[in-house]
Amino acid sequence: MARRWSWAVVVMVVPAPSWADGPAFSARELAQRIDERLAAAWKAEQIQPAPPADDYEFLRRVYLDVLGRVPRVSEIYQFLDDPAPQRREKLIDRLLAHPSFIGHWSNTWRDIILPTGGNQQAVFFANNLRTWLEQQIKKDVPFDQMVRNLLAAPTTLNQPPRGQFTAPANQVNPLAYLQAHEFKAENLASSTARVFLGVRLECAQCHDHPFAKWSQTNFWELAAFFSGVGLQNRFVPPNQPQPAALKNPGKEIKIPGKEKIVAARFPTGELPIWDDAKDPRAILAEWVTSRNNPYFARTAANRVWAHCFGIGLLDPCDDEPTEDNPIRHPELLAELTQQLIAHNFDLKFLLRAILNSRAYQRSSAMTHPSQKDLQSFARMPIRGLTPEQLWDSLTTAVGYRPAPGQLDPRLDFLNNQSIRAQLLARFALPERRTETQTSILQALALMNGKFISDATSLRTGELLAGVADFPAWSAERKLETLFLATVSRPPRAEERDRLLTYVQRGGARGDEAAALADVFWALLNSSEFLFNH
């Protein structure tokens, strides 16, 4: 490719960020605008949207997306007892204020910021980072502030205070982000670009990007801001190459294998204005999270959208639009971006608006061929669960409680022999949640593994045994309860008749309770339970 553009050229063609100053809508107003924009697009493209999701379908989905688990049977009844108008809006408010939201939202951002690929060491750092994220999210720190705290975290945080020999125990700080990237400027630069700007610069690390506009110099100019990290960090292992000595750490970097020293520069081509009171990373972080940086807010808004639909308006979320892969509904993403800025990077606001839209509350069942394209958002895509959503949903559905004296397996993430670790070892985070694949080992683990076997045993399954033994309930009521606990809806008439006959005849063993266990087993293994839809 002969011609290479610089980022400066690209940013100039992006409309001047005056839209960042538009009016701030309420969540309800924004929800309405989302639906208006999608409706206009469907009309133009002759797409027939799917009907609204019924209460059960909506309830299950919003629990999975906000709390990270399916609803309990009691929570389903509680919701249905609310008066119908506005009960969905009220539920969304209730869930966003629920303590479990903080946990699920922390997991979500941990997976975005530090994807682990199942690597044990990366998992360790990611969980350290999660503790910090949880604290930030609990305090409602705006997203831009949180990213600044992350990117500019002083490397001295883990070091003992002057005159002491040990660092304070249980420090909560974001240093795991630097550790996970081995304190290397190039790793931090590519992560920053990918995660927060939606730009993949990695390939430009070693050579000019083969099919995008980034040059190797662009990459190292960005990396230069991080060049002081390795020097500040006292714990570079002795067998690792020590970072090259630099006259101005954080302001320049040496490209490995070349003699060239590159000065720090924003990818837009602007030169930073240094302030000796500030770490160069803080100056970079201010630029990254600036309201005028068109990449930052857009990437964040797109990620919130992707959280709710499994796929972004721009997909994947960490890459730039191209001619072949443009932003879908660009005016919608622009509006979400603008509203995120107008609401001072309050991600929860955006989440609330999207959850309240009719688009989010549409059925996932396909009713017309025109709904096939997931990015038309004419129906809700089917999404795989994260390993944590799976575990939390399983434990909720089966009424699992850790044995007395046993550590809650959720807190026991370092123990790779725990029942949770053994099950989840089979389930990595899917790269694309709308294209989740299942392996034979996963199927075997769910069909025959210890967790499901215990849960579907009449001796050990908490919920199953309770339901099966409840004397006052009819077989029909028991069947309904098992359905509600797993797939969050009562059986349809046809299912009810067929399965009731099976249960009342006692299934393969001539025993009603055992037949209920069979149904429960099938429900737990079903796509309907194992996917968010």
Partner 1 sequence: MTRQRLSRRDLNTLAAAGVLGYSCSGWLEALAAQTAHHPQRRRACILLWMNGGPTQTDTFDMKPGHANGGPFRPIATSVPGIQISEHLPRLAQQMGDVAIIRSITSREGDHGRGTYYLRTGYLPQGPIQYPTLGSFLSKELGAEDAPLPNFVSIAPFRLFNPAAYGPGFLGPQYAPLLVGDNPNFQPAANGNVADMLRVQDIAPPADVTTPQFDHRVSILEHMERDFASRHPGVSPQSHRTAYDRAVRLMRTAARAAFNLDEEPASIRDGYGRNLFGQGCLLARRLVERGVAFVEVNLGSLPGAPAGWDTHVQNFTGVRTLCNVLDPAWAQLIVDLRQRGLLETTLIVWMGEFGRTPRINAQQGRDHFPNAWSVVLAGGGIRGGRVYGRTSADAMTVEENPVTVPQLMATICRALGVDHARQNMSNVGRPIRLADHGAEPIAEIVA
| Minimum gap (Å) between residue 168 Cβ and partner 1 | 32
Q: Work out how close the CB of 27 gets to partner 1 at its nearest, in angstroms, rounded to a whole number.
A: 29
Q: Where are the alpha helices (DSSP H) in 18-142?
A: 27-45, 55-66, 73-81, 87-96, 99-113, 120-138
Q: How far apart are CA 226 and CA 70, in angstroms?
A: 42
Token pair in block for residue 497? 């008749």
Q: Is the dihedral of CA 448, 452, 454, 460 positive or negative?
A: negative
Q: Which two tokens stand for residue 448?
A: 């025959």
Minimum distance of partner 1 from residue 532's CB (angstroms): 10
When the beta carbons of 148 and 362 are compared against partner 1, the nearer one is: 362
Whichever of 120 and 166 has its CB closer to partner 1, that residue is: 120
Name the residue with tokens 């699992």: 400
- Amino acid 222 reads L
Is the Cβ of residue 156 or residue 453 nearer to partner 1 in the bound state?
A: 453
At 213, the amino acid letter reads K
Q: Which is nearer to partner 1, 89 or 435 (CB)?
A: 435
Residues near partner 1, by CB under 8 A: 117-120, 190, 194, 200, 202-203, 205, 210-212, 315-316, 318-319, 322, 324-325, 364-366, 375, 381-384, 416, 425, 428, 431-432, 434-445, 447-449, 453, 457, 495, 498-499, 502, 507-509, 514, 518-519, 521-523, 525-528, 530-531, 533
CB of 87 to partner 1, least distance (A): 25
**What's the closest the beta carbon of residue 405 comes to partner 1, in angstroms?**
25
Residue ranges of alpha helices (H) inside 320-385 are: 330-342, 347-355
Instruction: In angstroms, give the least distance from the CB of 275 to partner 1.
Output: 32
Nearer to partner 1, 275 or 431 (CB): 431
CA distance 425 to 415: 12
Whichever of 271 and 366 has its CB closer to partner 1, that residue is 366
Instruction: Output the six-digit token pair for 109.
Output: 């951002």
Which one, 221 or 318, has the nearer CB to partner 1?
Answer: 318
Residues 6+ apart with CB under 8 A from 165: none
Q: Which is nearer to partner 1, 170 or 322 (CB)?
A: 322
- Tokens read off for 26: 């309420």
Nearer to partner 1, 157 or 522 (CB): 522
**Start-to-end CA span in the chain (Å):** 43
Distance, CA of 457 to CA of 449 (rounded, Å): 12
State the nearest-atom distance from the C-beta of 26 to partner 1, in Å.
33
Half-sphere exposure of 222 (CA within 13 A, CB side): 29
Closest distance of CB 523 from partner 1, Å: 7
Q: For 399, how many CA atoms within 13 A lie in the half-sphere containing its CB?
A: 19
Closest CB 211 distance from partner 1, rounded Å: 5
HEC letters along 117-169: CCCHHHHHHHHHHHHHHHHHHHCCCCHHHHHHHHHCCCHHHHCCCCCCCCCCC
In the complex, least distance from residue 130 CB atom to partner 1, rounded to whole angstroms: 20
Q: Is residue 518 classed exposed, middle or buried when 0-12, 13-18 and 19+ CB atoms within 10 A define those classes?
A: middle
**Cα 99–chain centre separation:** 17
Residue closer to partner 1, measured from CB, 136 or 187: 187
